[in-house]
Amino acid sequence: MPRSSWTVQVDGSKPWFRRAVDRGVRIVERVERTAQRVSGVGASAVPLQPRLTGSHDLDTVDRPVELTILLPCLNEAETVAICVQKAASFLLLNNVDGEVLVADNGSTDGSIALAEAAGARVIQVPERGYGSALMAGIGAAQGRFVIMADADDSYDLTALMPFLSQLRAGADLVMGNRFRGGIAPGAMPLLHRYLGNPVLSFIGRLFFRSKIRDFHCGVRGFNRSRIMQVGLQATGMEFASEMVVRATLAGYRVEEVPTTLSPDGRSRRPHLRSWRDGWRHLRFLLLFSPRWLFFYPGLAMMLVGVAGGVAILHGPIPLGGVRLDLASLAVACALVVIGIQSVLFAVFTAVYATNEGFLPPSNTVARFLRHWSLERGLAAGALLGLAGLGGGLAALVVWAGGVSNPPILRIILPSVTALMVSCQLVFSAFFISILGVRHAAKTHPVSAVEPDIDPGEPSDNLIPQFPEQVISR
């Protein structure tokens, strides 16, 4: 039987709320009488009666709060009070030990006073932004679990039990799905419903192998301590995507439950800006997936360039009503250079993001780095450089023999491409080694005592050490 002694503020002026309170008290009394009959313990030893006081005296409770209902707020005077009251009624009617917390982000319309009068604990967050308000609220929450929702009365805060049940069952993050639960007419703009949300959610599933189908649902629950471990940083609307992405990359248990969306109760324009915030979500998804941002596009360009260049190298290729010749060969060579550079950027980003803790490690690139070394990179670059120089000398011989320009260009273009790629590999080999040195320095700090090393002899301690795993996403 859950323990239920807790403190919450209520607004007794609302008749429907007083009826809910009375019903809750009767339920608690029945549970208390049952407990006394079963255990034979007096009522004083089973403090099941909720205390409805005018102050949020959670510090006097002898156990941690189970649930914090968190509402970010910026000028929500029209709806914040009803949202707080609905959240409080959920706690009361479901016998949940919890609190209602409002993270105010600089309201100037009296939202703070209204939230406090309705029974919420309010914290003020000076740094502007949806993510900033929520991160501050998560940090201040006293509950083991947190359910966050918008303070615009668009979500039913009396129907949060599916979220709490999943959290109690061990889920780390529970997302609402408005497409499964139901979207009332006028509750979501058509642009968001049929383009923005489905496309961004699809990209999130593709990039991060997530099963979530509604990445941007405003109501979600999570285990507070687990979410605080993933290092949330986004201060804007992209915070919604960051939470799902980081939890997925960390291997957390992420569930999804149906929820409903109704038209909000505000008369003003919403804070969300469709194109600006949509781009911020897309930008975040790309930056957190160097595999899709750099590696796959680069690999595709490189393969197309190599295949096209080899085909054109032996002579023109008729294609429909056109002929692929030297101009197409130049384009193919450019695709090879750009593609290789993009693939190398993917490796740089992977190593750096892992070393700095932005992204978790991946075995894919770890296996690559176990076979990669500065010496092997230099050797590969040197071989390509020699091939390029050899091609240049061959072109010089052909030119000295008086052969016309087109055959020379078929030799010069691949040779110059080989020289450029050679330089890319050599420079990249050194840069990856530098990233490895930085990681080693952070992992194994230099001792205050100088090492006993003969300056004239090499030491294994001076060889760059690479991380065992780096991210490939």
Q: What b/e string do you get for 286-296 counting C-beta neighbours within 10 Å, with b at 16 or more?
A: eebbbbbbbbe
- Of the pLDDT bands very low, low, confident and very high (cuts 50, 70, 90), residue 20 is low
User: Each residue of 340-392: pLDDT tens digit?
Assistant: 999 999 888 888 777 766 677 667 667 777 777 788 888 888 998 898 888 88
Asked if 144 and 67 count as a contact pair (C-beta separation under 8 A), the reply is yes
Residue 446 has pLDDT above 60, yes or no: no
Beta-carbon neighbour count of residue 190 at 10 Å? 8
What is the CATH code of the structural domain delimited by 7-287?
3.90.550.10
| Average pLDDT of span 292-320 | 89
User: Each residue of 219-256: pLDDT tens digit?
Assistant: 999 999 999 998 888 888 888 889 999 999 889 999 99
pLDDT for res 17: 53
Residue 118 has pLDDT above 90, yes or no: yes
| Average pLDDT of span 146-166 | 95
Alpha-carbon distance 210 to 206, whole Å? 7
Residue 65 has pLDDT above 80, yes or no: yes
Beta bridge partners of 323: 318
Q: How many helices (H) and strands (E) does the chain have?
A: 17, 11
Which two tokens mark 338?
């750009």
Beta strands in 322-456 (DSSP E): 322-324
Surface-to-core class of residue 359, CB atoms within 10 Å of its CB (0-12 exposed, 13-18 middle, 19+ buried):
buried
Q: What is the pTM of this model?
A: 0.66
pLDDT for res 465: 36
Alpha-carbon distance 218 to 272, whole Å? 12
| Average pLDDT of span 257-270 | 82
| Selection from 411, 429, 422, 406 nearest residue 336 by Cα | 422
pLDDT for res 15: 57
User: Which H or E run includes 364?
Assistant: helix 363-370
Residues 68, 141, 83, 16: what is their CA dihedral angle, to the nearest 10 degrees? 50
Which two tokens mark 132?
């900033």
* Degrees, nearest 5: CA angle 136-142-143: 110
| Selection from 250, 136, 154, 241 nearest residue 197 by Cα | 241
Asked if 9 and 120 count as a contact pair (C-beta separation under 8 A), the reply is yes
Residue 49 has pLDDT above 90, yes or no: no
Residue 440 has pLDDT above 60, yes or no: no
Of these ranges, 1-10, 164-173, 302-311, the one predicted with the greatest mean pLDDT is 164-173
Beta bridge partners of 220: 148, 175
Which two tokens mark 358?
């932005």
Beta strands in 178-252 (DSSP E): 220-223
Q: Count CA within 13 A, CB hemisphere, residue 237.
A: 19
User: What is the rounded average pLDDT for all residues in the chain?
Assistant: 78
pLDDT for res 29: 52
Asked if 90 and 68 count as a contact pair (C-beta separation under 8 A), the reply is no
Residue 1 has pLDDT above 60, yes or no: no
pLDDT for res 216: 86
User: Each residue of 141-151: pLDDT tens digit?
Assistant: 999 999 999 99
Domain range annotation of the chain: 7-287, 290-444+456-462
Beta strands in 30-120 (DSSP E): 51-52, 65-73, 98-104
pLDDT for res 215: 87
Which two tokens mark 346?
């993917």
Alpha-carbon distance 265 to 80, whole Å? 10
Q: Which residue has the higher pLDDT, 353 or 95?
A: 95
pLDDT for res 293: 87
pLDDT for res 10: 46
- Of the pLDDT bands very low, low, confident and very high (cuts 50, 70, 90), residue 406 is low
- Of the pLDDT bands very low, low, confident and very high (cuts 50, 70, 90), residue 190 is confident
| Average pLDDT of span 38-65 | 37
Beta bridge partners of 318: 323
pLDDT for res 260: 93
Q: Which residue has the higher pLDDT, 374 or 261?
A: 261
Residue 44 has pLDDT above 90, yes or no: no
